[in-house]
Structure 1
Amino acid sequence: MSSLTNAMLKAERHSFILHQLNIYNRILSSDLSQKLNVSEDTIRRDLNELADNGQLIKVHGGALSRSYGHIATRSEVYATNQKDIIAQKTLSLIREGMFLLLGGGTTVRSLVRMIPSHLRLTIFTISPVIALELIENPNLEVYLLGGRVTAENQICSGGEVIHRLSEIRVDLLILGTTGIDAVQGLTESDMEVVQVKKAMMKSADQVAILTISEKLGTSHRMKLCDLGSIQTLITELEPQDASLQMYAKAGLTLL
């Protein structure tokens, strides 16, 4: 195989890796190895090169999108227009005096930046990044449910967080998801994330899932829940869109 062909193949891998990061924010080397049918050593070299070029953040077992951190600019976040549409729709669920529980991620971050300054809310979150955004609003009472924080997940996890979640009750849980499928339900790529999100769902009267449409029909290694465990699905699409009808048939309210 010529060096030119090798370079083309590497460029295609890099493009695929960056696109996966844009969609999911975090990717595992083992998953990339399977999807691209190359060795994990090859993937590690690819990730190291992309990290050296400032295109991603290398972490143990994989990589993070540069948009995932608290210092990310709007221009670094993938699908900002779609996420703004989702955030605007989600605002229709929020009422004065509500108790909310928020996950992390760039779509939820878009939402918290849009919360009107006059609304008085009590908000719990497992995300230090989201908590930092929320405290800019003086009418919000903000609680960070602390625990172990890793670069890979950038949320608080572990037994302490799960215990604290068992002691609260909120009107609405607002979560992003790694994967959602009409048959498989909601899935994640990390077991610690699954355990924390399950505890969050037990603490909420209603659950709303926020996701860009590119995640529809995707599934990952760890099962979070069936669609019956959530009430509302919010995407940038119109509720009548054909790609959403299987979710409507499952009984979800679509926004």
Structure 2
Amino acid sequence: MTVDTMHSHREVELLDAVRRLGGFAKNTQLSSVLGVSEETIRRSIKSLSKSGAVARVHGGVFLVGTQSDPSFFRRIAENPEEKRFVAHELSQSIHDGMTLFLDVGSTTAFVAEELRLKSNLSIVTNSTRVAQSLVGHNNCRVFLLGGEMQPDELGAFGNVCERQARRYCFDVAVLSADALNTKSGFLYLNPAEASLASVVSECAEIKYVAMTHHKFETKAPHLGFSPSIVSTLFVDKKPRSKLSSALNGWGVKVQLAKKRDAQC
């Protein structure tokens, strides 16, 4: 018996649609593709998730147990409420008409969702998830950087990507990092991501970093940009005194996210 024969006709249709969309899809996309309500989509996803065929993430779903199950989706499913609070707080500093860079970070994906309420933005990104979230909304223009795709990040990196990024002048760069500690500042697990972050930061007037407190005083092997260039760090919890002192010394403003009602 195949996996699909264990599911209803509607669920099989949903699985096929997610496969056609590259292994990940937003509820709104599936509603449009299948011609049913988002509530119907959510019910089908809930049933499929119980069987282990898919996993739910904020506003969407991805296939489990295939090459379409990269670490990105596992990361975006971790601490979603904290990431949502941080994303909302950061979005308040973004104004209509700005030119932005958004990277491949999981918290940045939540920022992209919040920015759907803004208008006339020019979004440059190496993240297919960010591009997918913002294309076609409120007269926003989306520019997807080219380069070698890395499946674990769902994004493009490398020399081609960096050359294209240098052609833009960003009002704001929204960056992430895998670690932040007192000794080294912002750190990355992926050397290509660290390199692109450094390039983008040189092209941006304002640099924001978005992360949750789970990355405080952790380590990663690759240095990115100098912490002294960061304008504001958006976080869900205040860093402890030692890290707070280091951030203050680097001139980084710490902006705490305000918790919102779960229905917001």
Q: CA-to-partner distance for each residue in 1:178-198, whole Å, 9 max, x for gaps?
A: 111122111111221121111
Q: CA-to-partner distance for each residue in 1:127-163, whole Å, 9 max, x for gaps?
A: 0111001115132111101111021332111111111
CA contact (8 A) 1:131 1:142 kept: yes
CA contact (8 A) 1:135 1:142 kept: yes
What is the match of residue 126 of structure 2? 126
1:8-87 matches, within 5 Å, as 64=71, 66-67=73-74, 77-87=77-87
Q: CA-to-partner distance for each residue in 1:94-117, whole Å, 9 max, x for gaps?
A: 012111000012211111111253
CA contact (8 A) 2:208 2:231 kept: yes
1:115-194 matches, within 5 Å, as 115-194=115-194
Evaluate the alpha carbon distance shift between residue 118 and residue 90 of structure 1 in structure 2; reply closer, same or farther with a 3 A threshold. closer
Task: Report the CA distance between 1:65 and its aligned residue.
Answer: 5.2
For residue 195 of structure 1, give the secondary structure of its aligned residue in structure 2.
Answer: helix
Distance in 1 (CA, whole Å) between partners of 2:113 and 2:175 is 15
What is the match of residue 22 of structure 2? none
Q: Which amino acid aligns with 1:245?
A: S
1:165-244 matches, within 5 Å, as 165-238=165-238, 242=241
Distance in 1 (CA, whole Å) between partners of 2:243 and 2:119 is 31
For residue 245 of structure 1, give the secondary structure of its aligned residue in structure 2.
Answer: helix
Task: Report the CA distance between 1:202 and its aligned residue.
Answer: 1.3
CA contact (8 A) 1:67 1:106 kept: no
Q: CA-to-partner distance for each residue in 1:203-246, whole Å, 9 max, x for gaps?
A: 1111111110010111211111331121110101258x647522
Distance in 2 (CA, whole Å) between partners of 1:125 and 1:243 is 33
1:94 paired to 2:94: yes
Q: Which moved more, 1:104-113 or 1:121-130?
A: 104-113
Distance in 1 (CA, whole Å) between partners of 2:187 and 2:109 is 21
Mark the runs of 5 or more structure 1 residues left unpaired by the alignment: 1-51, 69-75
Evaluate the alpha carbon distance shift between residue 65 and residue 103 of structure 1 in structure 2; reply closer, same or farther with a 3 A threshold. closer
For residue 173 of structure 1, give the secondary structure of its aligned residue in structure 2.
Answer: strand
Size of the aligned set, in residue pairs, is 193
Distance in 1 (CA, whole Å) between partners of 2:140 and 2:189 is 32
TM-score scaled to structure 1, two decimals?
0.68
Q: Which amino acid aligns with 1:64?
A: S
1:110 paired to 2:110: yes
Mark the runs of 5 or more structure 2 residues left unpaired by the alignment: 1-51, 56-63, 256-264
Distance in 2 (CA, whole Å) between partners of 1:58 and 1:196 is 28
For residue 173 of structure 2, give the secondary structure of its aligned residue in structure 1.
Answer: strand
Distance in 2 (CA, whole Å) between partners of 1:94 and 1:251 is 21
Distance in 1 (CA, whole Å) between partners of 2:144 and 2:182 is 32
CA contact (8 A) 1:147 1:160 kept: yes
Report % sequence identity.
17
Q: Which moved more, 1:243-252 or 1:88-97?
A: 243-252
TM-score scaled to structure 2, two decimals?
0.66
For residue 115 of structure 1, give the secondary structure of its aligned residue in structure 2.
Answer: helix
Distance in 2 (CA, whole Å) between partners of 1:203 and 1:186 is 18
For residue 161 of structure 2, give the secondary structure of its aligned residue in structure 1.
Answer: helix
